[in-house]
Amino acid sequence: MRLIDGKKISAEIKSEIAEEVKKIKDAGKKIPHLAAILVGHDGGSETYVAFKIKDCAEVGFKSSMIRYENDVTEEELLNKVAELNSDDDVDGFIVQLPLPKHISEQKIIEAIDPSKDVDGFHPANVGRMVIGLPSFVSATPLGIIELLKRYKIETSGKNCVVIGRSNIVGRPMSILMSQRGIDATVTVAHSHTKNIKELCSNADILISAIGSPGFIKGDMVKEGAVVIDVGTTRVKSNKTKSGWKLKGDVDFDQVSPKCSYITPVPGGVGPMTRVGLLKNTLLAGKLKN
Ligand code: GUN
């Protein structure tokens, strides 16, 4: 069994991005600028956005954070999106999800200029990705593809099972895995799937993105499979300073002895998601400037 070290690969990619930023700076060009809108005080969202801002500083990007309280109106948010769309200094921006119930996430996403949509959530980017055109791709699937490439994991003709069909992870992941050049045969499993254990047991590559800690047990995984654990459920812990720890979808102790490759949680997919956003922001800056 080989551990897929997302922490190490993400550090490598960050230093590659930092090199590029240095070149951009040395050429007297504008350095990439990421803006993030955060609504409310959800613990997870606060942490994720703080990481995104920290990552920008690490690679030399400019970043800004715009905060609103939970009672912000949809109109106020749409006005801010319009302002960021026309702000030439901002190369890309994200609106951290989830948003309060009185705001339509889809309406906000569709208001973002697709050329600044570094989350890759706008239907124009999703559609371009589906038909294999250059586009911004959602950060987690982008990061996972990068991990498979850097570990030279064979994907062509392999049976890939993706569990979960969210717009952010499962759906784009399943589409990317079947694309030309990756060429896996993909099955998408979800809450209505009946024979999940049998399906998973046939997977050469199993990608789980359901957010159910320890759901994937040893008897669901084929000998020699590649297992990618996207689950990052925050559970209370008295062993960490923050009082929280992250738990993956995979029962690591049971599953890892059977795998050829496996991503740990933490330190697998998570750091690659962060790098995915940096890659998209660098691309947005390059395309615009
Ligand atoms: N909430 C959970 N993941 C994400 C993400 O990748 N982008 C945004 N904007 N919100 C999220």
Helix (H, G, I), strand (E, B) or coil at 201: helix
In the prediction, which pLDDT does 160 show? 98
Percent of the chain whose pLDDT exceeds 90: 98
CATH assignment at residue 208: 3.40.50.720
Of all protein residues, the one whose alpha carbon is nearest to atom 3 of ligand 1 is 97
Annotated catalytic residue, options 62, 96, 158, 279? 96
Q: At 89, which CATH number? A: 3.40.50.10860
pLDDT at 44 over 90: no
How far apart, in Å, are the Cα atoms of 277 and each of 119, 185, 228? 7, 27, 19
Same domain membership, residue 214 and residue 96: no
Q: Which residues of 273-284 are buried (b: 16+ CB within 10 A; e: fewer)?
A: bbbbbbbbbbbb
Instruction: State whether the beta carbon of 117 lies less than 6 angstroms from ligand 1.
Output: no
**Domain total of the chain:** 2
Residues 249 and 183 in one domain: yes
C-beta 94 within 6 A of ligand 1: yes
Ligand 1 proximity of 169 Cβ (cutoff 6 Å): no
- Each residue's pLDDT tens digit, 215-256: 999 999 999 999 999 999 989 999 999 898 999 999 999 999
pLDDT for 35 beyond 90 = yes
Residues 47 and 147 in one domain: no
Q: Are residues 172 and 103 in the same domain?
A: no
> Active site residue: 55, 117, 119, 204, which one?
119
How much distance in Å is there from the Cα of 97 to the middle of ligand 1? 5
Q: Give the pLDDT of residue 52.
A: 98
pLDDT band at residue 161 using 50, 70 and 90 as cut-offs: very high
**119 carries an active-site annotation:** yes
Ligand 1 centroid to Cα of residue 263, in Å, is 20
Are 101 and 216 members of one domain?
no
Q: Do both 188 and 261 map to the same domain? A: yes
Residue 159: burial class (beta carbons within 10 Å; 0-12, 13-18, 19+) = middle
Q: How far is the CA of 22 from the centre of ligand 1 (A)?
A: 28
Residues 75 and 198 in one domain: no
Question: What pLDDT digit, counting tens, does each position of 183-195 carry?
Answer: 999 999 999 999 9
> In the beta sheet, which residues pair with residue 33?
62
Any catalytic annotation for residue 88?
A: no
Residue 103 domain flag: yes
State if residue 139 touches ligand 1 by the CB under 6 angstroms criterion: yes
Instruction: Give me the sign of the Cα torsion angle 234, 44, 240, 52.
Output: positive
Answer yes or no: is pLDDT of 36 > 90.
Answer: yes
pLDDT in tens, 78-137: 999 999 999 999 999 999 999 999 999 999 999 999 999 999 999 999 999 999 999 999
Closest CA to ligand 1's atom 11: 97
pLDDT of residue 4: 98
Quick one: 106 and 151 in the same domain?
no
Q: Are residues 47 and 104 in the same domain?
A: yes
Q: Does 168 lie in the same domain as 63?
A: no
249 counts as catalytic: no
Q: Which residues of 162-190 are buried (b: 16+ CB within 10 A; e: fewer)?
A: bbbbbbbbbbbbbbbbebeebebebbbbe
Ligand 1 centre to CA of 122 (Å) is 13
| Torsion angles phi and psi, residue 153, rounded to 5 | -85, 125
